[in-house]
Structure 1
Amino acid sequence: MNMKNYRERIKKPIRAKCAVGERLLDDPLLDFVETQMIKVGSLSHGEVQWDEIEKICMNLLENKTKDLKILTYLLQCMQYQASAERFTLSVYILIDFMTAFWETCYPAPGDRGALPRRKFFSQIAQRTFKSAQNLDAEMFAVDLKVELENAIEQWKEVVKTYSLPLTLVDDVQVLLTNKLSPLSVDTVLPGTSESSTLKAESENTASNLSAISKFKTDSSSDRATKQTLFKMADFLTELDNGSVYSLRLRRLATWLAVVSLPDADQHGQTQLMPLSIDRIQEYEDQLERGADLVLWRKVEKSLTLTPFWLDGHYLSFRIAMKLGEKDLATAIRDELLIFIGRLPTLLNMSFQGSVAFASQETQRWLNDVNNCNSLGTMPGLWDETLKKAFVLAEDGGVSVALAMLNEGLKEAKEPRDKFYWRMLSADVMHNYKLGALASAQYTTLKIQAQSFSVTDWEPSLIQRLENVTDIKA
């Protein structure tokens, strides 16, 4: 991959009048990147297309948006099994981006973005430390060692400018100094009880373990267990990629003791007090003016205090989407669906004063989610998916488009959906001069289509009809 102009491309403003471009909330290239990055550290880790992700991230940062989240993905690619040159370049790219766009970049520019930027910085610094641990000192010529030392010093100066945690950079510097020193661990003078290199390498892990060890698990009562889970959720929030787990754990703690429906009259009305109407309206008004982390924390706090305020989870979902946190929004939705799946009657129950646990709007949202589980039930969606694939192929290459379609195929459950995913792949291959492969795929699909019965095509439809027939009988 050509990296000669990486720094110039990162520093270049998107437009003269808007240096940081626009925030990307619905972009097929970004969707592809995020789908790939979810695989990192999972059983599908070996399928991650690092080169394609890096290429797309550079394209987005150069031409569409200066987004810190996308920069994080780019640096993660560059530091994965990094050479000496790529690691050093990754540090310089970070310096360039921070110098030019730190206070104006997405996802949250200005003062309101101080906390999110700080979290992204911690995440980047921790990953840089881990990558530095895996560097081979023998790859560094003398001039490259000097270059890296200069880069780290420049990074420290930028970090000081924005009052970010300097200790994170110091950790990286100490580790690299010891790793690239003429004295390796094997040649440390006798009598040294522990090399400084090993100390630096274990510092982050040790601090995390130390923090975990402070937790005292108390399961003496439901309340004590709940408080333990909330404390662990707070801790997870501070860890790299821990926010999703924290959010899920909070909901586990909130609903831990809910094993049956609350007492209610024949109309489903309970004696539980609803959240103040004024408070809810205040939340909605703030969301209308613009979502931020302060609002989100308030809503999440209210959810922990009001377990049956199901509308609040839809509100939290909308805030997450406004902030561009799609993974967290998905987690909110999934956890609520699991909870409702255990006690579906909750959707028909209410607080005092007949205030519904879940409004019609919230129930429509949940129904839409269930109806979207099969692409085959959504008219026109296949056309939209094909358009998205063509955009990916045009901007990122045919391999990126086919990878996206392959992801859809792997997740499909109905034979009908699998058929369409394969046909879309054939359409892309045909459109981009891979005629022989496309022709073979079309032939196979034609043979399958001619042999399908309705039962084979969409077995869930038959099952649904059978269930309805049984009920009416």
Structure 2
Amino acid sequence: MMRITAEIHLDPLLAPLAGNDQGHPVGIPLEETGDYLTLDAEMMKVGSLQHANVAWETAETLAIRMLSERGKDLKVLGHLLHCLQHDGNGVRFALSLRLLTRALEQPWWEHAYPFNGPRGAKLRPRLFQQFTQRSVKFASGLDFHNAEDEFEACQSALTELQTRVKQRSLPGDALNELSRQLIAQRPSQSSPTSNSHHSTQQGARNEIEQSPNAEQAPSAHGSAQAPAKAPELRLEAGNERSNRQALLKMADF
């Protein structure tokens, strides 16, 4: 089984093959070959009651082998892109965009089966649009949590693809939507500043919650420590003893 997991795995898929009858480096037609029919049968299960039974690894292996060794076929390329994108793997999704970008750069793109010749000028853009619309659909299944590098890889690959699409005058609306989706799914990170701000806010909140008790404490303390009321001084004329005792009480206070 073959599985694409790195950029270097794209090179054999993109390399030109032997020239066809018109001299274009696209190899031979694939539609009647056993590998093509097997691949097509597997991909026909997608979206049907047999969807769970799609042999994705088999489909990917067949597509890789045909594009690398036998012929350049845009439908086979589309099936391979589907295999790369269906499982929500950020690395492989980025590689699918890189594969499509680099395919657009190849001299065989305009002569690839089954849309070679004059009729391909109208059909290739439609097929390309199907590729990109499907990419938008699968982008919703990507998860970039704790995977900033995967997000950056997808974003970079998409930017390059958009540039190439403009040069080729191909439909790019779906890619604009894909860009919006990726940005919406960018992994969020809590900055130290925001954490510090949150701690400050929490501390302030705690102080506010505690402040009523803090304000009440001095009052209670004041009640407990309030000075005793001074005794009332009363002097009686002609009663020296009583007056002396009253003065002594005032002195003690």
The normalised TM-score by structure 2 is: 0.68
Aligned-residue identity in percent: 29
- Deviation string 1:214-246 (CA, Å, 9 cap, x unpaired) is xxxxxxxxxxxxxxxxxxxxxxxxxxxxxxxxx
- Deviation string 1:180-238 (CA, Å, 9 cap, x unpaired) is 1528xxxxxxxxxxxxxxxxxxxxxxxxxxxxxxxxxxxxxxxxxxxxxxxxxxxxxxx
Aligned match for 1:164, one of 157, 160, 170: 170
Q: Which residue is equivalent to 1:104?
A: 111
RMSD: 1.9
Aligned mates of 2:116, 2:139 — CA distance in 1 = 30
Aligned mates of 2:146, 2:25 — CA distance in 1 = 37
Q: Which residue is equivalent to 2:43?
A: 37
Q: Which residue is equivalent to 2:126?
A: 119
Q: Secondary structure at the match of 2:185?
A: helix
Asked whether the equivalents of residues 84 and 92 of structure 2 are also in contact (C-alpha less than 8 Å), the reply is: yes
Aligned mates of 2:78, 2:139 — CA distance in 1 = 16
- Deviation string 1:384-433 (CA, Å, 9 cap, x unpaired) is xxxxxxxxxxxxxxxxxxxxxxxxxxxxxxxxxxxxxxxxxxxxxxxxxx
Q: Which residue is equivalent to 1:79?
A: 85
Q: Which residue is equivalent to 1:194?
A: none
Asked whether the equivalents of residues 6 and 93 of structure 1 are also in contact (C-alpha less than 8 Å), the reply is: no
Aligned mates of 2:12, 2:5 — CA distance in 1 = 10
- Deviation string 1:256-296 (CA, Å, 9 cap, x unpaired) is xxxxxxxxxxxxxxxxxxxxxxxxxxxxxxxxxxxxxxxxx
Q: Which residue is equivalent to 1:8?
A: 11
Q: Which residue is equivalent to 1:155?
A: 161
Asked whether the equivalents of residues 78 and 86 of structure 1 are also in contact (C-alpha less than 8 Å), the reply is: yes
Q: Secondary structure at the match of 1:138?
A: coil
Larger radius of gyration: 2
Q: Give the counterpart letter for 1:106 in structure 2.
A: Y
Shift of 1:93: 0.7
- CA change 1:130–1:20 in 2 (3 A) is same
Aligned mates of 2:66, 2:167 — CA distance in 1 = 27
Q: Secondary structure at the match of 1:137?
A: coil
- CA change 1:47–1:96 in 2 (3 A) is same
- CA change 1:165–1:42 in 2 (3 A) is same
Shift of 1:18: 4.1
Asked whether the equivalents of residues 37 and 48 of structure 1 are also in contact (C-alpha less than 8 Å), the reply is: yes
Asked whether the equivalents of residues 147 and 187 of structure 2 are also in contact (C-alpha less than 8 Å), the reply is: no
- CA change 1:132–1:18 in 2 (3 A) is same
Aligned mates of 1:131, 1:113 — CA distance in 2 = 27
Q: Secondary structure at the match of 2:111?
A: coil
Q: Which residue is equivalent to 2:179?
A: 173
Q: Which residue is equivalent to 1:46?
A: 52
Asked whether the equivalents of residues 84 and 139 of structure 1 are also in contact (C-alpha less than 8 Å), the reply is: no
Aligned mates of 2:117, 2:160 — CA distance in 1 = 23
Asked whether the equivalents of residues 42 and 54 of structure 2 are also in contact (C-alpha less than 8 Å), the reply is: yes
Aligned mates of 2:139, 2:76 — CA distance in 1 = 21
Q: How does 1:326-365 map to 2 (within 5 A)?
A: none
Q: Give the counterpart letter for 2:167 in structure 1.
A: T
Q: Secondary structure at the match of 2:110?
A: coil
| Larger helix percent | 1
Aligned mates of 1:19, 1:51 — CA distance in 2 = 27
Aligned mates of 1:80, 1:170 — CA distance in 2 = 20
Shift of 1:10: 1.7
Q: Which residue is equivalent to 1:94?
A: 100
Q: Which residue is equivalent to 1:58?
A: 64
Aligned mates of 1:125, 1:132 — CA distance in 2 = 10
- Deviation string 1:326-385 (CA, Å, 9 cap, x unpaired) is xxxxxxxxxxxxxxxxxxxxxxxxxxxxxxxxxxxxxxxxxxxxxxxxxxxxxxxxxxxx
Shift of 1:146: 2.4
Shift of 1:121: 0.9
Aligned mates of 1:160, 1:3 — CA distance in 2 = 28
Aligned mates of 2:52, 2:60 — CA distance in 1 = 16
Aligned match for 1:70, one of 76, 85, 92: 76
The normalised TM-score by structure 1 is: 0.37
Shift of 1:140: 2.3
Q: Which has the higher contact order (CA 8 A, sep 6+)?
A: 2
Aligned mates of 2:58, 2:146 — CA distance in 1 = 25
Q: Secondary structure at the match of 1:14?
A: coil
Q: Secondary structure at the match of 2:97?
A: helix
Aligned match for 1:132, one of 126, 132, 139: 139
Shift of 1:15: 2.3
Moved over 6 A (4+): none
Q: How does 1:274-423 map to 2 (within 5 A)?
A: none
